Amino acid sequence: MAWTSTWKKKFYIPGQTEPFKLSRSKIDLFVDCPRCFYLDRRLEVGRPSMPPFTLNSAVDHLLKKEFDMHRKAGTPHPLMTENGLDFVPFDHDKINEWRENFVGVQYLHKESNFLVFGAVDDLWVDAKGKVHVVDYKATSKDEAVTKLEDTKWHDQYRRQMEIYQWLLKHNDLNVSDTGYFVYVTGRKDLDSFDGKLEFYTNLISYKGKSDWVDETLMQAKACLDGDSIPEAGHDCEYCNYRENAGNAFKKHVAKFGAKAMGKKGSATSSNKVKK
């Protein structure tokens, strides 16, 4: 994802006194693979970017517009009443700031000196004043997603929810441990496209437990402060690729010598056009 003009990409320098801005997604990167995290935040080598999920972004945008209409009116969304929830969208003067990428909900974790932030999709409030974190998800499968275990990213989604809850609690909100995923699944069982997509929409509740966040931040801090590249995460496909590609490269050079390196425009280049 491209960086906006309001965000200057900075990398970690051991011993720095200025708080280091660390996103929710980078915390998840550390949990997934400490080596990729170290390469990204300390050595300035990030994972290859993924193609943008433009359809998912469109669904996210439209859902926000839909819930914002009820936020302005102070009325419950039909999805809430259908699921027996006495909720309305939470109306707060910082809601747009909290949903803005690279800004989001922020909290300075003094023990690690990390300025942790994450952009929420939505917040709902119940009749007792408890705030519930809500995240929108979109996919396309043969069957509707009705529980987190239906997707291979369920552990990542749980951590995402828990970090948002942790951030909001540190911003003095009365946050419930129960959050919700608005999960929309593109239908494949229709006879034709007809210029439109139709979705199954399901509400999935999840009771989070964010007591792991503080310890994980301290572990991430120790990782970045160290001079040794940490072990790769279990089954990290990026680290596996780097290792296998590096080994294949070394074997090829050992077999064919310097000419195996190739240079642009040389006879060994794969781009050389034979006449």
Which CATH number do you get for residue 158? 3.90.320
Whole-number average pLDDT of the chain: 90
Q: Are 186 and 140 in contact (CB under 8 A)?
A: yes
Which of 183, 219, 211, 157 is CA-nearest to residue 22?
A: 219
Asked whether residue 5 is domain-assigned, the answer is: no
Q: Each residue of 74-91: b (16+ CB within 10 Å) or e?
A: eebbebbeeeebebbbbe
Supply the DSSP symbol for 118.
E
What pLDDT sits at residue 3? 32
- For the chain, the first-to-last Cα distance in angstroms comes to 42
Asked whether residue 92 is domain-assigned, the answer is: yes
Same domain, 171 and 205: yes
Same domain, 129 and 247: no
Same domain, 243 and 207: no
Asked whether residue 14 is domain-assigned, the answer is: no
Asked whether residue 53 is domain-assigned, the answer is: yes
Residue 7 has pLDDT above 60, yes or no: no
User: By residue range, what is the domain housing residue 246?
Assistant: 235-262
Judging by beta carbons within 10 Å of its beta carbon (0-12, 13-18, 19+), is residue 238 exposed, middle or buried? middle
Asked whether residue 175 is domain-assigned, the answer is: yes
pLDDT, one tens digit per residue, over 187-220 is 888 889 999 889 999 999 999 999 999 999 999 9
Same domain, 168 and 190: yes
Asked whether residue 174 is domain-assigned, the answer is: yes
Same domain, 90 and 140: yes
108 HSE (CA, 13 A, CB side): 6
Least reliable range by pLDDT among 64-73, 118-127, 180-189, 261-270: 261-270
Same domain, 180 and 245: no
Same domain, 251 and 143: no
Same domain, 249 and 157: no
Which of 76, 87, 68, 33 is CA-nearest to residue 229?
A: 33
Coil, helix or strand for 127?
A: coil
What pLDDT sits at residue 270? 44
pLDDT, one tens digit per residue, over 213-261 is 999 999 999 999 999 999 999 989 999 999 999 999 889 888 888 777 7
Asked whether residue 271 is domain-assigned, the answer is: no
Same domain, 116 and 221: yes
Q: How many domains does the chain have?
A: 2
Same domain, 72 and 153: yes
Residue 268 has pLDDT above 60, yes or no: no
Q: What is the Cα–Cα distance from 260 to 258, expressed in whole angstroms? A: 5
Same domain, 178 and 258: no
Same domain, 205 and 247: no
Q: What is the Cα–Cα distance from 89 to 76, expressed in whole angstroms? A: 7
Asked whether residue 12 is domain-assigned, the answer is: no
